[in-house]
Structure formats: structure tokens, C-alpha cells
Chains A and B, each alone.
Chain A
Amino acid sequence: MRTSVIPFGPQHPVLPEPLQLKLTVEDEVITEAVPALGYVHRGLEALAQNRDFHQMVQVTERVCGICSVLHAICYCQGLEDIMGITVPPRARYLRVIWGELLRLHSHLLWMGLFADSFGFESLFMQLWKIRERVLDIQEATTGNRVISGTIRVGGVSRDMDARQVHWIADQLTWVAHQVRQIEPVLREDFTIRRRTEGKGVLTSAQARELGAVGPVLRASGIAQDIRQTGYAAYGELDFEPVTATAGDCHARCMVRLGEIDQSIDLIHQALDRLPGGDIRSEVRGRPQGETLMRVEQPRGEVVYYIRADGGKTLSRVRIRTPTFANIPVLVKLLPGIFLSDVPVVVLSIDPCVSCLER
């Protein structure tokens, strides 16, 4: 039996992010996978020590473009916790709307890449076409397509008028209709099921043991979603975590598909119940203390540890991103699978190296 080592990354067309997996292969069967990280480490955490704590909102948004709003929300919630700031209800609902729009476009982006990983290019194009509409909503409401720049300590910087609220609802109805048309393909297409069912199976016990987060965890049957803690306005909205039991790549896809519907529903709920009033509370003084804040990103739970000593800058910001938590899962899933299934399994955890290399 012939053994060879195939480098999957750091520059690879299937995964256009600088993550390397050194795959030891025997007759196209993976026997070992060794990840190599750190190609684009940016040291964003260290910036907290020489940037004003307000400026750090912009820095945290740039940890990852795709998760930008949720990084900013998590950071701001941490500081609001330390400083005892109460966020106005309208701002909390606006955070939910932008957070769910982000989850929506992130899942559509992922689904397109996932389709591309098993060679279904037309599905990839159709999914990204739908995603464009979500980005249009973000641009119309925040001024930016990806990095919104609207989250502030104490609230948000932009509001929505009644006309925008109706327009968003109409646009999301179109998005929901388009997704419903594609859903049977993702759910039932023979070639997709052949490529994804039974691949990269993670049992619920393994998911707990390895510390899996997000859709990877929920696809293994564990109904854990940090939004259930009720941060922002989630405590006032109706939703249940989307789960699946198979624990394979198809189940992870189905969980994300369900979360697209869930996000659309949550935005509709938030738009319907959007309260009036201010969008930002006054921020006085300087932060002193420490906190641990968690938020549910599209890829799973992100954790921010923030420590402040009463100065203009923070003494420590530590970010545990969901991709970091899911890397041990990936290393566990790869041995024993065929080389042709590597892109499918790697994409199934939705790796975000930008988050990872904060």
C-alpha cells in the first residue's frame, strides 16, 4: 500500500483561506490529518491594549467580515456588562435584526461553498444569487454590504424607519421563497445525499467530548444555542434550536437550512415587535472589571473575555472563536474517509480562518 502526503492548503481552491491540513493518504484513504495554523495571525487581541475601548468595536468587527456584527455585539455586550449600561429596547431589537441578517447571508455563503466542494456549481451560483439580496438589505440599512459598522457600546448608531421595515419584510419574503425552491435539491437530490450522508459522522458523545459548537454540535442532536440565554432581544422572541440526529455532513447542511428559515422568522418577529425610543444609551466613565460574554455566531459560540483596569484602553481581550472550537472535531473526522470526501467534511464545519487567526 502506497503512502503519500497531500498538502490541503494553505493555498487551495476548495478552501480559499490559509489553513493547512497535511493529509497522509493510503490509496485515497486518509490515515492522518495534521492541521497547521498561524499563517495570517493579525494580533487583533493585542490592539486592545493601545486602542480606545470605543475604537475596539471597529477592530472586533474586523476579526471576521462574515461574522462582523456578532463580534461587535459580543464585545459591546461585554463592555455594557462591565460598565452597567442598559441598552435601549429598540437597539436590542435592531441588533437582533442585523445579527440574523448576518447569519442568513453567512449560511447562504456556506451552502454555496459546500455545493462547490462536491462539484455542484449551478447550486453554488443560485445560492449566492439569493445571498446578494440579503447583502442588499444590509447595505440599505447599514450603509455597508458586509461589515455593517452600526454596533456601538450602549446601543447602535443607525435606525430604521417604517418604510425600511416594510421593505425588509418584502425582501425577506422573496429570500424565503427562493430558499424554499432550492430546499428539495439540498434535501433530496441523489448525488448530494450520496456525497454527504454518512460522511464525517460525529456522535453526540464525541461532540460533547471534543467541545463542538454551533450547527456541528446541533447536527449531532444536542440542542444548544447561546441565543437561548436571551441576550439582546432573543429572550422576547419565539424560537427553538434547530437540530438533527445523524451527525453527518448532510445533517449539518439540514441544520443550517433550518436556521435560514429560523433567521427569517426571527427578523420578521423583531420587525413586527420593534419598539420605539432611543437607539443608544449614554456611555459615561471608563470600564473597570472583567467579564465573559458569549454570543451565537453562524459557526457557533464565540466567547469574549474582557478585562479593564479603569483606563482608556483595555488590559485584556481574549476571543475564543467557533472555528477554533471545531478544529479538534475536524481532526477527528478526517482519518478513515476518502480523499474525495475531504472538501465536503472540511466545509461541513464551516471553517473561518479569519476568525481563527484573530
Chain B
Amino acid sequence: MNHALIILGIGLVAGPLLGGLAGGLDRIVTARLQARTGPPVWQPYYDVIKLMAKELVVVNGWQAFCVYSYLFASMLALILFVMQSDLLLILFTQALGAVFLAMGALASTSPYSQVGAHRELLQILTYEPLLFLVGVGIFLETGSFKISVVMQWKDPLILKLPLLFAALGYVMIIKLRKSPFDLAASHHAHQELVRGVFTDFSGPLLGMIEIGHWYDTVLILGICSLFWATGPVPMAALAAAAYATIILIDNAAARLNWRWMLGHVWAMGLALALVNLICRHQG
């Protein structure tokens, strides 16, 4: 009982702690790549604290419900991951949270919010098949969807599933809202949709969404680290390397449109994943 509670606590704390820290480091690295100094590493926490202190203003009750649901689903997905639960259950839980976020944006009549929500749904449609194939690939190698089994696997999965890992890269770019796929909402508001899916959220609700994004960040980096789950150090190193690569891509690419994203990610991502799976299956 105590062990389960400790893991639950780790899951709850890991999201804000590691996610916020990753966000802070991202902002510093991005700033250096752009010949700027950047904010302090704790800036994401300052931002969220300030948002939490603001007055709660909601367009309608449904919007608030969707934000609470999104945050809860994101937290639950990470807790399940830390508890080394079923990968499929984790993937569906995080997908549920992502859909709630889009539904919250659709609850507003703002055209920026509406179009942003549609793009968010298209992004989900784009990466979910790839994420599912990642789960299938892990299952085919380890014989189980259980993360506890994957963690005991002796060989790094990336050596057997390199193309699937590359396909996961597309998912990470989309989930972390990085160029060229920061279509539904970019980190700053300099796009045609202003802040896209987040446009009509403000104050504490926006703060909760940011915390939810931290949980999502840690979860997706955690899934990435499963590809070298031979110990905590290689897991952390792989996640850090993948995150750094995505920051680099973000700073070296323009934002593309959703038609290109859907066509390219499905064509390239699915091809990479399927080729890898077929090769392993036949081997």
C-alpha cells in the first residue's frame, strides 16, 4: 500500500517538476539558438503561478469541465506510466485528455478557438496511429504491453526498432507543439490563429492546461525512453537527446500546414513504422 502511494506521489510530482524544468531548459536553449539570453530556467513555474493568481473567467461551464478533464487525464496517464502499467491503457488515457482539450476550445464561439480545435483534432488524428504502432512494436519485441516487462528487457529496443523510433519523433514534435507541426497553437501567439486552441482560455484554466502539458511532455519523453530501457541513465540520456533534437528542429524549420502534416506524417511515419514491424516480424 505504501509502495503504491509512493509511486502515485512520484507520478503526481514528476509531471510539474520535470515537465516545467524541461520547458525552462527548452526556453533557454531556444533563446541561445536565436542569439538571445532567454528567461531563467524557473520561468515556466513563474508563469503558471501568475496565471493561477488571476481571476477565473470562463466562457461557459463546459469549457472549465473540459480543462479539469484534460488535466486529470494527463495526470492519470503519467501516473499509470510511473506505475509501469499497460501501455495501451496509457495511450488511450492521454488521447482522451487531448480530445477534452479540443472539446474545451470548441465550447467557445471564437473562430480562432474553433479553427484551433479542428487543427488539434487533426493533429490527434495524425499522431495517434503512429503512437498505436509504437505500442504494437514494443509488444512484438517484448511480448507484452506492460511497461514493467519492457523495463526488464535486456536489449535496447532502439536497436531493433530504429524506424519506429524515428516515427515516434513525428509524434513528439506534434505533441510538444514544435515547428513544423505547431499548427493548433504555437508557443508564442504569432500565427494566424493568435493562440489557436488556447485562445479563449485564461487565468487559472490556462495555468492548468500548462500543467497538463508538462504531464504530457514527461509522458511522451518517458515513452521515448522505453526504447533504451536498460537503466535509468540510458533512459534519461535517450529522452534528453530526443528532446534536444526536437528543439533543434523547432528552430530550423518554418511552420507547415495541416494538409502537409497529415499527408507527410502518415506517408513517412506509417511507412517507417510498418517497414520496421514487417522486417522484425519476418526476421
Contact = CB atoms under 8 A, between A and B. Distances in A.
A338 B253 contact: no
B191 A122 contact: no
A14 B254 contact: no
B111 A6 contact: yes
B3 interface: no
Contacts of A45: none
Contacts of B182: 119
Contacts of B254: 115, 118-120, 189, 191-192, 194-195
Interface stretch (A48-56, A167-175, A233-241, A339-347): A339-347
Contacts of A195: 254-257
A32 interface: no
A156 B72 CA distance: 67
Contacts of B253: 120, 189, 191
Given A118-B255, A121-B188, A339-B192, A194 B34 contact: no
A13 B260 CA distance: 24
A191 B180 contact: yes
B186 interface: yes
Contact of B190 (A6, A119, A122, A340): A119
A29 B115 CA distance: 12
B188 A339 contact: no
Contacts of B191: 13-14, 119, 343
Q: How big is chain A's contact interface, by range?
A: 20 to 34
B267 interface: no
Contacts of A312: none
B5 interface: no
B251 interface: yes
A117 B190 CA distance: 7
B35 A340 contact: no
Interface in A1-58: 4-8, 12-14, 25, 28
B255 A129 contact: no
B225 interface: no
Nearest to B253: A191
Interface string B170-203: 0000000001101100101111111000000000
A125 interface: yes
Given A125-B35, A191-B253, A116 B115 contact: no
Interface string B92-121: 000000000000000000011011000000
B33 interface: yes
A164 interface: no
Contacts of B111: 4-7, 25
A129 B35 contact: yes
B34 A121 contact: yes
B180 A126 contact: no
A119 B182 CA distance: 9
A120 B249 CA distance: 11
Contacts of B281: none
Nearest to B180: A191
Interface string B226-256: 0000000000000000000000000111111
B180 A338 contact: no
A122 B115 contact: no
A340 B257 contact: yes
Nearest to A342: B192
Contacts of A191: 179-180, 253-256
Contact of B179 (A4, A119, A338, A343): A119
Given A340-B183, A342-B192, A119 B33 contact: no
A13 B35 contact: no
A13 B182 CA distance: 16
A192 B260 CA distance: 13
Nearest to B193: A339
Closest 10 A-B residue pairs measured CB to CB? A119-B255, A125-B34, A191-B254, A122-B251, A118-B254, A340-B257, A120-B254, A6-B111, A191-B253, A13-B189
5 contacts: A8-B192, A118-B255, A120-B253, A122-B251, A340-B255
Interface of A: 4-8, 12-14, 25, 28, 115-122, 124-126, 129, 189, 191-192, 194-195, 338-343
Given A4-B111, A25-B115, A125-B35, 5 more contacts: A8-B192, A28-B258, A121-B188, A189-B253, A338-B259
